[in-house]
Chain A
């Protein structure tokens, strides 16, 4: 008995420490972004903001290129999620029909793409040939359907009760009609999963923006953040007036940009995590 309770205590403690390990970097960086330059330089920031100030954020919101990247990424996320979710649902529904002729061949051809691909260079040249370079299309189209999510959606549609479909069909309901009026409303959980995963993917777009986007007004927020982290903050500070320099150091500017980028994810995370676990485990066990 005594040994068991010791184990439980140690285990609970270990888990609490792990949570700290996962959360602390975020908390610390947010605290940095809100602390005064002096406190940062003196190394007094550990957990909470010291001498709280919004200077870094003011500077951030004044910077046109960052705000531009923010808005571009928001638009990309919106268009991207819309195209990806509708394409995925549209393809998953017919493929969930066991009796559909040619279904197995199509499924095999799709699953096969998870194991082989043409690789980076052929894909890049194709996107270039199609004239998509430097357009939002280059960030959406080449990966508009995620095969893993497609398979999850197919298995979800397969679980829908057949009775509703049969009676709807008897009333002369077409497949498209049935999909819109019954299947989609019955599939809120899986569609929410799709929205979440695609939204996070688009919001985090870095690599495809790095290779396909040339003009600075089409940089995604992640690209912008990368620049700020590496070189940009010094240049930004030089542009700002001398008075601001004493109040902002690269560290809180970097912290503020990180916070701005991560904030949308942190905000929607509590709402989204209700959905994704079920979706993912369903796909993982069946896929």
Chain B
């Protein structure tokens, strides 16, 4: 009887497991390409081994180094500028007492997360286009010089960071707001009795209350130092700013898919994963050293 009831559970698992096996585990085997001179006609298995030759080639490629430094630069900039903002936003939002107003702001702040990068690119164009972009129209009106926002390396980076904030700040705040709601209100009452003001409460109760969450998110961010989304840099990028806008994801796309350098770009992808993993471990180690739980302590339940 018991056996029969479990059989259909396993039956239900078949489609899902098949999916994970085919699309998540089989490609892992393709990583071997990085150590082979891959030939599409004969497949990964039969292609000849070349040891670390592909990696040597990657490390000699100046464009690879440029994509790598650009990726790290944009990610570090995001980490310094974009990372603290959702925390600040959540803290300030938490101070608003009018529930309806609070909910409205929250709803509006999440909306951009659901808007695609292509649409966002369209919005950016309508603000920054040379002739008709709103900002340039305004600049002309006050007699200032027009700015080619997407064609200038400095301004490109500004637009990149700002558009990232627009799209995901509200969304990133969700997790901090959830953490804030778990703080015991009795703590605030007790602090008020002791004469604490808003700032005291924020500093001694709220921030420590969400410290664990902040650390986990920070570790995960650091663990992605080499990962960068494809769509944002690809859509915003152009020939004029290629020196700063070429990142690993767009580099892999161009070399791998457009120029069919399969072994080369698989090696790049592998380097990317390994560096990420090292950074993840490093950040986790530092966090635990500082007395936080880190991420590997949490188990799959």
Question: A residues within 8 Å of B by Cβ?
Answer: 4, 7-8, 11-12, 14-15, 18-19, 21-23, 25-26, 28-29, 32, 40-41, 43, 46, 87-88, 90-91, 93-95, 97, 100-101, 104, 106-111, 113, 115-126, 141-145, 150, 155, 169, 174-176, 179, 200, 203-204, 206-207, 211, 222, 225-226, 229, 249, 251, 254-255, 257-258, 261-262, 265, 269-270, 273, 277, 280-281, 284-286
**A126, B30: Cβ atoms closer than 8 Å:** yes
**B118, A226: Cβ atoms closer than 8 Å:** yes
**A123, B27: Cβ atoms closer than 8 Å:** yes
Please name 14 further chain A to chain B contacts, defined as beta carbons within 8 Å, in addition to the given A100-B6, A109-B20, sorted by A numbering.
A19-B104, A25-B123, A87-B16, A94-B12, A104-B300, A117-B28, A121-B266, A122-B26, A122-B33, A126-B27, A141-B19, A265-B114, A269-B111, A284-B175
Residues of B within 8 A of A12 (CB): 96, 101
Q: Is B49 in contact with chain A by the CB < 8 A criterion? A: no
**A22, B111: Cβ atoms closer than 8 Å:** yes
Main secondary structure of the interface of A (DSSP, over half): helix
Residues of A within 8 A of B8 (CB): 174-176
> Considering the chains assembled together, what is the distance between the CA atoms of A226 and B174 in angstroms?
30
> Considering the chains assembled together, what is the distance between the CA atoms of A41 and B175 in angstroms?
44
> Considering the chains assembled together, what is the distance between the CA atoms of A7 and B301 in angstroms?
43
Closest to A32 in B: B126
The number of residue pairs between A and B whose CB atoms lie closer than 8 Å in the complex comes to 235
Residue B270 contacts which of A119, A175, A254, A277 (CB distance < 8 angstroms)?
A119
**A125, B262: Cβ atoms closer than 8 Å:** yes
> Considering the chains assembled together, what is the distance between the CA atoms of A150 and B17 in angstroms?
12
**Contacting residues of chain B (11-26) with chain A, CB-CB under 8 angstroms:** 11-13, 15-17, 19-20, 22-26
Count of B interface residues, CB-CB < 8 Å = 83
**A11, B115: Cβ atoms closer than 8 Å:** no
**A176, B16: Cβ atoms closer than 8 Å:** no
Given A22-B108, A43-B132, residue A229 in contact with residue B114 (CB < 8 A) = no
Residue A94 contacts which of B10, B137, B256 (CB distance < 8 angstroms)?
B10
**B108, A87: Cβ atoms closer than 8 Å:** no
**B178, A258: Cβ atoms closer than 8 Å:** no
Residue A269 contacts which of B33, B96, B114 (CB distance < 8 angstroms)?
B114
**B127, A28: Cβ atoms closer than 8 Å:** yes
Q: How far is the CB of B164 from chain A (nearest CB, A)?
A: 13
Given A11-B92, A43-B141, residue A121 in contact with residue B198 (CB < 8 A) = no
Q: How far is the CB of A1 from chain B (nearest CB, A)?
A: 11
Q: Is B239 in contact with chain A by the CB < 8 A criterion? A: no
**B300, A93: Cβ atoms closer than 8 Å:** no
Q: How far is the CB of A191 from chain B (nearest CB, A)?
A: 16
Q: Is B109 in contact with chain A by the CB < 8 A criterion? A: yes
Q: Is B148 in contact with chain A by the CB < 8 A criterion? A: no
Q: How far is the CB of A213 from chain B (nearest CB, A)?
A: 13
Residues of A within 8 A of B262 (CB): 121, 125
Q: Is B95 in contact with chain A by the CB < 8 A criterion? A: yes
Residue B178 contacts which of A94, A121, A124, A281 (CB distance < 8 angstroms)?
A281
Residues of B within 8 A of A88 (CB): 16
Please encode chain B, from 185 to 199, with 1 for each CB lying within 8 Å of some chain A CB and 0 for all others: 000000000000110
Q: Which of B27, B92, B198, B253 has the most CB of A within 10 A?
A: B27
Q: Is B53 in contact with chain A by the CB < 8 A criterion? A: no
Closest to A274 in B: B107
Closest to A227 in B: B118
Residue A118 contacts which of B13, B31, B97, B110 (CB distance < 8 angstroms)?
B31
Closest to A280 in B: B174
Q: Is B9 in contact with chain A by the CB < 8 A criterion? A: yes
Q: Is B105 in contact with chain A by the CB < 8 A criterion? A: yes
> Considering the chains assembled together, what is the distance between the CA atoms of A272 and B130 in angstroms?
37
Q: Is B5 in contact with chain A by the CB < 8 A criterion? A: yes
**A11, B96: Cβ atoms closer than 8 Å:** yes
Residues of B within 8 A of A32 (CB): 126
**9 closest A-B pairs (Cβ-Cβ)?**
A122-B30, A118-B27, A91-B16, A119-B269, A204-B116, A43-B137, A258-B122, A122-B27, A94-B9
Residues of B within 8 A of A143 (CB): 23
Q: How far is the CB of A95 from chain B (nearest CB, A)?
A: 7
Q: Which of B20, B175, B231 has the most CB of A within 10 A?
A: B20
> Considering the chains assembled together, what is the distance between the CA atoms of A19 and B112 in angstroms?
11
Residues of A within 8 A of B28 (CB): 116-118, 122
Residues of A within 8 A of B253 (CB): 120, 211
Q: What are 15 inter-chain pairs, A to B, with CB distance below 8 A?
A: A7-B95, A8-B95, A11-B92, A18-B109, A25-B166, A107-B300, A118-B26, A120-B253, A120-B257, A125-B40, A222-B119, A229-B121, A261-B118, A273-B110, A277-B174
**A281, B175: Cβ atoms closer than 8 Å:** yes
Q: How far is the CB of B165 from chain A (nearest CB, A)?
A: 9
Q: How far is the CB of B60 from chain A (nearest CB, A)?
A: 20
**A145, B174: Cβ atoms closer than 8 Å:** no
